[in-house]
């Protein structure tokens, strides 16, 4: 049986098992078992046990449940309302006014969350009712929130960066540092688009509130101090080299518990719900990672990654052609899988090709996160679309349509990061020096 036939068989098995409603992690393990059983001489059961244990006992992964739990704790506080009060007075002078609260609020919360869906839901539960009450167009409110929510993946700490770092053996601290400038770039692109739209449609933007004095604005800004303090504690400790990603995550959990306690929202019920919510999400991610590790091993024994790398190499693609081809591949894959599954499922196959092309794996990690961000707002499996559908009761088609401009802005961000790779690599280089 040739490689093409084996690949077709395994892909068909993957979609058949997924389509039957089996969990993604178990699906990956099942496809890996089929591949090893049919096309390899190594006993599949022994390989599965060793690989799954090895992937689950990684010390680096300890940061993941801690960052997930931190986001769950903050989701149950009144942090989002406080952020709106602190940001709104400063946004009034900008074209687009309070629409920028979505962008800036998501950028700030992303720096303590790590999850796109959590960022979108937390900021959305505060901003959407307020913007609707003040007369802002629903399309721009929902679209800017869907796009800005994806900053939860790019601005560190990022769950998907941890997954990528574990899958490729790239330093997670370096990835976190590399995500800062691309995250700011994307936020600036989103805010710039909102300004241009507001200048072109001045009648659709409600009038500004009564002007506030500088002293009043500063007084309202005190509501931002808890989240800014948490960002400085978590990311500052990593950037200063004081703490590893895992130690910073533990610091973040303690800080979020202190904030929740100070706000009076830390009860036994919210503590239990946050712990259970974080455990459920991490168990899902861990199962996917374990299944993907076994699938990677299975593919290695069959030899598919090597053959695929050789085939792509034989096409004579330039670096830019390979980057474009991979971007379309991931966007297409995002129509069927969530971001974490996409990364862990493909890294074992894609990595040899990327390394052979001479692409820096640190830069490639930021590129992957940007492309996965785009997949977060592509139907039918875009997680942010599902979150917003639940919050607004709007059709997925409508949400996808109003989010489309932000999809193209992400495309522009990918182009800029490719043309100017220093956007992603300069800051980590300064840290190493």
The pTM (predicted TM-score) of the whole model is 0.77
Q: Which of 43, 38, 33 is nearest to 5 (CA)?
A: 38
Residue 183 lies inside a defined structural domain of this protein? yes
Q: How far apart are CA 297 and CA 325, in angstroms?
A: 25
DSSP-based three-state secondary structure for 169:
coil
Q: How far apart are CA 22 and CA 38, in angstroms?
A: 21
pLDDT at 338 over 80: no
Please report, rounded to a whole number, the percentage of residues in the chain having pLDDT higher than 70: 92
Q: How far apart are CA 420 and CA 363, in angstroms?
A: 11
Tell me how far the alpha carbon of residue 39 is from its chain's centroid.
Answer: 35
pLDDT value at residue 135: 86
pLDDT one-digit tens code per residue, 340-384: 777 877 787 788 888 888 889 999 999 999 998 888 787 665 667
DSSP-based three-state secondary structure for 42:
coil
> What confidence category does residue 337 fall into, taking pLDDT thresholds of 50, 70 and 90?
low
Residue 296 lies inside a defined structural domain of this protein? yes
pLDDT at 76 over 70: yes
Neighbours of 156 (CB within 10 A): 28
pLDDT at 2 over 70: no
Residue 102 lies inside a defined structural domain of this protein? yes
Residue 355 lies inside a defined structural domain of this protein? yes
291 burial level (CB within 10 Å; 0-12, 13-18, 19+): buried
Residue 20 lies inside a defined structural domain of this protein? no
Q: How far apart are CA 20 and CA 120, in angstroms?
A: 29
Residue 136 lies inside a defined structural domain of this protein? yes
154 in Cβ contact with 423 (< 8 Å): no
> Which range marks the domain in which residue 304 is found?
29-35+59-432
Residue 417 lies inside a defined structural domain of this protein? yes
Total domains in the chain come to 1
Average pLDDT (67-87) is 78
pLDDT at 54 over 80: no
3-state secondary structure 356-422: HCCCCHHHHHHHHHHHHHHHCCCCCCCHHHHHHHHHHCCCHHHHHHHHHHHHHHHHHHHHHHHHCCH
Residue 298 lies inside a defined structural domain of this protein? yes
Backbone φ, ψ for residue 201 (5° rounding): -130, 65
Q: DSSP class of residue 62?
A: G
Locate 199 and state its tokens: 């200048």
304 in Cβ contact with 3 (< 8 Å): yes
Q: DSSP class of residue 77?
A: S
pLDDT one-digit tens code per residue, 226-274: 888 888 888 788 777 788 778 888 888 999 899 888 888 888 998 999 8
**Higher pLDDT pick, 126 / 308:** 126
Residues 6+ apart with CB under 8 A from 210: none
120 in Cβ contact with 88 (< 8 Å): no
pLDDT value at residue 78: 75
Q: How far apart are CA 270 and CA 117, in angstroms?
A: 19
pLDDT value at residue 242: 84
pLDDT one-digit tens code per residue, 173-230: 899 889 999 999 999 999 999 999 999 988 888 877 777 677 877 888 787 888 888 8
């Amino acid at each position: 049986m040739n490689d093409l036939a084996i690949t077709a068989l395994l892909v068909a098995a993957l979609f058949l098992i997924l389509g039957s409603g089996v969990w993604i992690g178990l699906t990956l393990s099942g496809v890996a078992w089929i591949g090893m059983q049919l096309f390899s001489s190594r006993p599949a059961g022994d390989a599965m046990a060793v690989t799954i244990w090895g992937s689950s006992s990684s010390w680096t992964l300890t940061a993941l449940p801690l960052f997930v739990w931190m986001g769950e704790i903050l989701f149950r506080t009144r942090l989002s309302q406080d952020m709106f009060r602190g940001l709104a007075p400063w946004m009034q002078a900008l074209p687009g006014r309070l629409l920028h609260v979505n962008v800036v609020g998501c950028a700030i919360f992303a720096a303590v969350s790590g999850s796109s869906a959590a960022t979108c839901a937390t900021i959305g539960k505060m901003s959407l009712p307020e913007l609707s009450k003040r007369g802002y167009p629903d399309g721009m409110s929902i679209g800017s929130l869907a796009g800005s929510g994806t900053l939860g993946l790019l601005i560190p700490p990022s769950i998907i960066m941890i997954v990528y770092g574990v899958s490729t053996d790239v330093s997670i601290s370096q990835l976190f540092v590399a995500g800062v400038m691309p995250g700011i770039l994307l936020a600036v692109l989103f805010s710039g688009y909102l300004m241009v739209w507001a200048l072109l449609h001045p009648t659709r933007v409600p009038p500004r509130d009564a002007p506030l004095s500088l002293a009043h604005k500063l007084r309202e800004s005190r509501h931002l101090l808890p989240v800014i303090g948490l960002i400085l504690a978590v990311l500052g400790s990593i950037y200063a080299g004081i703490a590893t990603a895992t130690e910073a995550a533990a610091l973040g959990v303690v800080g979020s518990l202190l904030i929740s306690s100070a706000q009076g929202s830390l009860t036994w019920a919210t503590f239990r719900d946050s712990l259970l919510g974080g455990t459920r999400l991490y168990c899902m991610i861990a199962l996917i990672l374990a299944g993907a590790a076994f699938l990677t091993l299975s593919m290695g024994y069959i030899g598919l990654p090597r053959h695929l790398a050789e085939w792509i190499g034989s096409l004579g693609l330039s670096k830019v052609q390979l980057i474009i081809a991979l971007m379309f591949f991931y966007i297409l894959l995002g129509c069927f899988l969530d971001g974490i599954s996409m990364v862990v499922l493909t890294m074992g196959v894609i990595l040899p090709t990327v390394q052979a092309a001479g692409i820096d794996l640190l830069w490639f990690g930021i590129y992957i996160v940007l492309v996965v961000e785009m997949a977060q707002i592509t139907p039918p499996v875009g997680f942010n679309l599902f979150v917003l559908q639940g919050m607004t009761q709007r059709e997925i088609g409508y949400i996808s349509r109003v989010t489309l401009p932000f999809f193209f802005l992400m495309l522009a961000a990918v182009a800029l990061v490719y043309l100017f790779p220093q956007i992603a690599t300069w800051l980590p280089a300064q840290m190493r020096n």
